[in-house]
C-alpha cells in the first residue's frame, strides 16, 4: 500500500516537473483560443490535466464562457440598462426628420 | 426607430459605456439605414440588419479613436491571481490547496449550460463584464461576443497581438472568477 502511494506521488511529481505549472496553464489555456498549441504542447497540457483537477475545471469553464458570450446579444432587452430616454428619442426623431428633408 | 431604438441604444451603450456616444451611433445607424433602405430588401430580419450597421459604426469609431488614444491596458489584473498560486516550493505556480484553503477553480453546477436561460445569470454576467476597464471589455467583447479574429482586432484597435492576448487572458480570468463568486458559487 505504501509502495503504491509512493509510486503515485513519484508519478505526480514527474508529470509536474515535465509540464507547465498551473499559472502557466491558465495563460496557455486562454492562448489556445487564439492559436492552436503545437502537438507537443497539447500533449503536455493534456498530461497536466491528468494530475490537476483545477486546471481541468479552468479549461472547461473558459470553454463555457466562450460558448456563452455570443449569446449576450439575445439578453440585452432583459438587462437593467436603461433604453433611450424620452428626450433622446425626440432628439433622434427630429434629427432623422431633418436629414430626410 | 420605435421598434428597435431601445435595443440598438442598449447594444451601443453596453459597448461604449457613454450614453451620448451611444445615441450618436444609433442616429448614424438609422441615417445609414434610411439611405441604404433599398439595399435591405428583406434579406435578413430588420433588427439584424440594423445591428449589422451599428456594429460597423462602432468599429469605425474604435478605428478613429485608436489613432488618438491607446487601447492597450496591461494594468488590469496584472497580478494574474498570483495570490491563488503557490509562491514557492516543489509545487510553485500550482493552485493553492492546503488545509482550509481551496483556491483553485471550484466545480460549477453539473449543468452550467442551464444558466444560459436564466435572466439572473445574464445580469451577473453583465455586472462582471462591467467591472472590467473599458478597453479590456472592448477587446473581450470583440473577440468573444462578436467573434472577430485576433488579427482584425489588432488592426482595428492598433494594438499588438501579444498585448491583445495578455488582455484577453486577464479578462477571461477575471470574468471566470467573478462569475464563480457571484453566480456559480451561489448555485451549489
Cα separation, B34 vs A99, in Å, equals 9
DSSP state of B183: I
Structural contact between residues B8 and B50, judged by C-beta atoms closer than 8 angstroms: yes
Q: What is the pLDDT of residue A17?
A: 93
Q: What is the pLDDT of residue B43?
A: 56
> What is the b/e burial string over B87-101, where b = at least 16 CB atoms within 10 angstroms of the residue's CB?
eeeebebbbbeeeee
* Cα within 13 Å of Cα(B45), Cβ side: 5
Contact: B176, A62; criterion CB under 8 Å: yes
Choose which CATH entry (3.40.50.720, 3.30.1490.20, 1.25.40.10, 1.10.10.10) describes domain B82-187: 1.10.10.10
Q: Looking up cell 459597448, which residue turns up?
A: B15
Q: What number of H helices and E strands is found in chain A?
A: 5, 0
The number of beta carbons lying within 10 Å of the beta carbon of residue B8 is: 26
Q: Looking up cell 479549461, which residue turns up?
A: A59
Selected for mutation to probe chain A from B81, B95, B110, B139 (highest A CB count within 10 Å) is B95
Contact: B11, A73; criterion CB under 8 Å: yes
Residue of A nearest to B24 (CA): A92
Instruction: Give the CA distances from residue B12 to residues A93, B16, B26, B180, in Å, rounded to whole numbers and listed in that order.
Output: 18, 6, 8, 27
The number of beta carbons lying within 10 Å of the beta carbon of residue B20 is: 9
How many A×B Cβ pairs under 8 Å? 148
Per-residue pLDDT tens over the stretch A10-69? 999 999 999 999 999 999 999 999 999 999 999 999 999 999 999 999 999 999 999 999
Q: What is the pLDDT of residue B118?
A: 86
Contacts with A4 (C-beta within 8 Å, 6 or more apart), sequence order? none
In residues, how long is chain A? 101
* CA-based torsion, B94, B100, B101, B104: positive or negative: positive
Q: Where are chain B's structural domains?
A: 5-68, 82-187
Q: Residue A58: list chain B partners with CB under 8 A.
A: 104-105, 176
pLDDT of B58 over the 90 cut: yes
pLDDT of A78 over the 80 cut: no
H or E element at residue B31:
helix B19-35
H or E element at residue B102:
strand B101-102
Contact: A77, B7; criterion CB under 8 Å: yes
Contacts with B171 (C-beta within 8 Å, 6 or more apart), sequence order? B76, B77, B132, B136, B137, B139, B140
Contacts with A39 (C-beta within 8 Å, 6 or more apart), sequence order? none
Contact: B176, A61; criterion CB under 8 Å: yes
H or E element at residue B119:
helix B119-130
Per-residue pLDDT tens over the stretch B68-120? 999 999 999 999 999 999 999 989 999 998 877 889 999 998 778 888 888 88
Structural contact between residues B135 and B72, judged by C-beta atoms closer than 8 angstroms: yes
Q: What is the pLDDT of residue B1?
A: 67
Selected for mutation to probe chain B from A31, A34, A93 (highest B CB count within 10 Å) is A34
CATH 2.60.120: does it fit domain B5-68? no
pLDDT of B25 over the 80 cut: yes
Cα separation, B27 vs A93, in Å, equals 9
* End-to-end CA separation in angstroms for chain A: 88
ipTM for this model: 0.91
Amino acid at each position: 500500500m505504501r509502495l503504491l502511494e509512493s509510486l503515485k506521488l513519484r508519478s505526480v511529481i514527474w508529470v509536474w516537473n515535465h509540464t507547465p505549472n498551473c499559472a502557466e496553464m491558465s495563460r496557455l489555456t486562454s492562448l489556445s483560443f487564439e492559436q492552436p498549441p503545437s502537438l507537443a504542447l497539447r500533449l503536455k497540457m493534456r498530461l497536466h490535466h491528468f494530475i490537476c483537477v483545477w486546471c481541468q475545471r479552468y479549461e472547461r469553464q473558459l470553454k463555457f464562457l466562450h460558448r456563452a458570450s455570443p449569446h449576450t446579444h439575445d439578453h440585452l432587452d432583459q438587462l437593467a440598462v436603461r433604453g433611450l430616454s424620452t428626450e433622446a428619442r425626440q432628439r433622434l426623431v427630429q434629427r432623422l426628420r431633418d436629414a430626410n428633408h | 426607430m420605435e421598434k428597435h431604438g431601445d435595443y440598438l441604444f442598449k447594444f451601443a451603450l453596453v459597448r461604449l459605456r457613454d450614453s451620448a456616444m451611444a445615441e450618436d451611433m444609433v442616429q448614424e445607424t438609422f441615417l445609414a439605414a434610411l439611405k441604404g433602405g433599398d439595399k435591405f430588401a428583406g434579406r435578413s430580419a430588420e433588427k439584424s440588419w440594423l445591428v449589422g450597421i451599428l456594429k460597423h459604426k462602432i468599429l469605425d469609431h474604435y478605428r478613429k479613436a485608436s489613432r488618438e488614444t491607446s487601447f492597450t491596458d496591461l494594468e488590469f489584473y496584472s497580478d494574474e491571481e498570483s495570490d491563488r498560486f503557490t509562491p514557492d516550493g516543489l509545487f510553485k505556480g500550482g493552485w493553492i490547496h492546503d488545509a482550509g484553503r481551496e483556491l483553485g477553480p471550484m466545480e460549477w453546477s453539473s449543468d452550467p449550460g442551464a444558466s444560459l436561460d436564466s435572466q439572473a445569470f445574464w445580469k451577473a454576467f453583465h455586472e462582471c463584464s462591467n467591472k472590467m476597464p473599458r478597453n479590456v471589455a472592448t477587446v473581450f467583447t470583440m473577440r468573444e461576443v462578436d467573434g472577430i479574429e485576433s488579427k482584425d482586432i489588432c488592426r482595428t484597435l492598433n494594438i499588438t497581438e501579444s498585448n491583445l492576448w495578455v488582455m484577453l487572458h486577464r479578462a477571461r480570468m477575471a470574468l471566470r472568477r467573478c462569475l464563480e463568486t457571484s453566480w456559480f458559487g451561489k448555485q451549489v
